[in-house]
Amino acid sequence: MRVLLVEPPKRIWELMGGNYISPPLGLAYVAAALEEERVEVGILDCNASNMGWAELEDFIEESRPDVVGVSAMTPFFPKAIGVARTAKGVDPKITTVLGGPHVTFTAEETLLEHPEVDVVVRGEGERTLVELVRCLEGGGDLSSVQGIAFRGDGQVVQTPQPPPLDVDALPLPAYHLLPMHRYVFTVFGRFTTILASRGCPYRCTFCSEWRFWGGRWRPRDPEMVVEEMELLNKKYGRECFWFGDDCFNVDGEHMRRICEGILRRGLAVSWYYQGRADLVIKHRELLPLMRRAGNLMVQIGVESSTDEELSRFRKRLTTGQVREAVELLRENDIVCQGLIIVGTREDSPSSIMHKVRYAKWLDLDFPIFTMYTPFPGNDVYEQAKDNGWLEVRDFSKYDMAHAIMPTEHLTRRQLTSWHRWCFSNYYLDPVKLAKGLFSRNEWKRRIWRHMLAYIGKQIVRSWF
């Protein structure tokens, strides 16, 4: 049985820049699991291969797969549906499979509204897709496959979830099936994504990822992580690594062993991770080691400018801790990217201005103002549905850059204007601008040039 995993043609979030292509790491993990079980599998990354929908259709027709699989986060869900529709148009006998966070939480809705989708994989896909393929090969009963949803007898059937996977038992992602030389990010150069862990032990209300991964943090063996980095660096020429972990800095010993492994192997690499401010403080003694091992930037969830709102987010964090974490990163010459949420139900012009003033007071190197987004699977989505706040049904807009619902004080249109104002007010501040463009830190200078180009486009767009 031939399996084709597809990364669909899609438009990348404009903030990332036009020169940004990231490897579909999830598909590479699934492909490796299939290969390990001797299933014939290929990956088609349409973005990296510069293929549009017509070329995708031709590829499917030529390769004649039995199964076409695609995974997507919420903003790319319409593209995933497009892949399934394209595959069925080529051959209705192709089994179309969707996976990822969005369909995990909307399995019934997806199957009822989209007849071109045959099966939904809920949660981690490596083991489940292998079992599904074996079941299809043998003409077995789909209800025997754990972790899927499908249509049966006029209704949607959801099978029990399997236990969380042992992350150390998984094979390395099938990088050999990807055009690794095509992955690039203007800011980071020849980069790739990598995982040192799965899941998160925290329960923030605006996040659906912790539910998707089973509510636990599962670290990979640090030695395996470093071996993977060495492979990517020496075989595929990757020089910068973006750790896509939901929370990289949970455990100090885990980070220490990764850093020591990088230094021991003499890897000349740089890397960037997403983590928590309070854990930056907790593991402050590791910051010099992490900097020596190539850690050039950290993304922390600043989220809000008040302790009250942080409490409503169930963040288990204070503004004082955020301030201390930013100062620690600055002392160690590590660029601090801070995410700040705009558009909560309580937000007003004054509260949004307060968030920008707070970001300036923190002196963040690289603030990103994200729109409060009700992703399926997070508490915000359920609350918004129950209260009738959702004004946008198009999931492609659920990208943390578009206003999906109004606040108690602002319409969506007003909120969009204030969101743009946040970026221009911060990055065009003369003092911040000078510090960013003339920083001694090369990454910071590069990021500021990137952000100014983005803001320039936003300003021009606002005139039309």
**Least confident piece of the model among 11-25, 27-41, 44-58, 312-326:** 11-25
Domain of 119: which CATH number?
A: 3.40.50.280
**Where are the strands (E) in 73-176, listed by range?**
95-99, 119-121, 148-152, 155-158
Query: What average pLDDT does the segment 84-96 reach?
Result: 98
| Total of domains in the chain | 2
Q: Is 386 in the same domain as 334?
A: yes
Q: What is the CATH number of the domain that holds 392?
A: 3.80.30.20
**∠ Cα 201 202 205 (to 5°):** 145
Residue 273 has pLDDT above 90, yes or no: yes
161-202: pLDDT as tens digits: 999 999 999 999 999 999 999 998 877 788 999 999 999 999
Does residue 152 sit in the same domain as residue 202?
A: no
Residue 171 lies in a domain: no
Reported as a pLDDT band with limits 50, 70 and 90, residue 49 is very high
Name the pLDDT band for 83 (thresholds 50, 70, 90). Answer: very high
154, 209: one domain: no
**Alpha-carbon distance 421 to 60, whole Å?**
44
Q: Are residues 105 and 210 in the same domain?
A: no
pLDDT tens, 12-33? 766 665 577 899 999 999 999 9
Would 85 be classed as within a structural domain? Answer: yes
Out of 117, 139, 158, a domain closes at: 158
Query: Residue 438's pLDDT is what?
Result: 93
Residues 419, 296 share a domain:
yes
Q: Is the pLDDT of residue 457 over 80?
A: no
* Long-range CB contacts (within 8 A, 24+) of 292-295: 292/259, 292/263, 293/258, 293/259, 293/260, 293/262, 293/263, 294/262, 294/267, 294/268, 294/269, 294/270, 295/259, 295/270, 295/271, 295/334
pLDDT computed for residue 395 by the predictor: 96
Residue 175 lies in a domain: no
Mark whether 197 and 78 lie in a shared domain. no
In a domain, 165, yes or no: no
**413/288 same-domain check:** yes
Residue 248 pLDDT > 70: yes
Structure tokens, 223: 């030695």
Per-residue pLDDT of 388-427, as tens digits, reads 999 999 999 999 999 999 999 999 999 999 999 999 999 9
Count of CB atoms within 10 A of residue 363's CB? Answer: 15
What would the mean pLDDT of 68-72 be, rounded to a whole number? 94
List the structure tokens of 186: 């203007």
Residue at a domain's end among 137, 158, 179? 158
| Structural domain of 225 | 187-462
**Across residues 348-367, what is the average pLDDT?**
97
Q: Are residues 310 and 242 in the same domain?
A: yes
Mean pLDDT of 328-337: 95
Q: Which residue type sits at 220?
A: R
Residue 23 counted as domain residue: yes
Q: pLDDT confidence of 299, banded at 50, 70, 90?
A: very high
pLDDT at 441: 85
Question: So what's the pLDDT on residue 16?
Answer: 66
Q: Rounded to an integer, what distance in angstroms lies between the CA atom of residue 61 and that of residue 432?
A: 53
235 plus 96 within the same structural domain: no
92 lies in the same domain as 214: no
* 382 within some domain: yes
Of all residues in the chain, the percent with pLDDT exceeding 70 is: 98
Given a contact cutoff of 8 angstroms between Cβ atoms, the answer to whether 314 and 340 are in contact is no
Residue 176 located in a structural domain = no
Domain boundary among 113, 142, 158: 158
Beta bridge partners of 371: 342
Between CA 116 and CA 118 the distance in angstroms is 6
Assigned domain for 172 exists:
no
Residue 449 has a pLDDT of 87
145 and 7 co-located in one domain: yes
For residues 4-12, give the mean pLDDT.
91
pLDDT digits (tens, 9 = 90+) for 131-161: 999 999 999 999 999 999 999 988 999 999 9
Per-residue pLDDT tens digits for 213-247: 988 999 999 999 999 999 999 999 999 999 999 99
- Of the pLDDT bands very low, low, confident and very high (cuts 50, 70, 90), residue 36 is very high
Quote the CA–CA distance of 233 and 228 in Å, as a whole number: 9
Q: Are residues 144 and 207 in the same domain?
A: no
Mean pLDDT of the region 364-386: 95
The chain-wide mean pLDDT, for the chain, equals 94
| Residue 15 pLDDT | 65
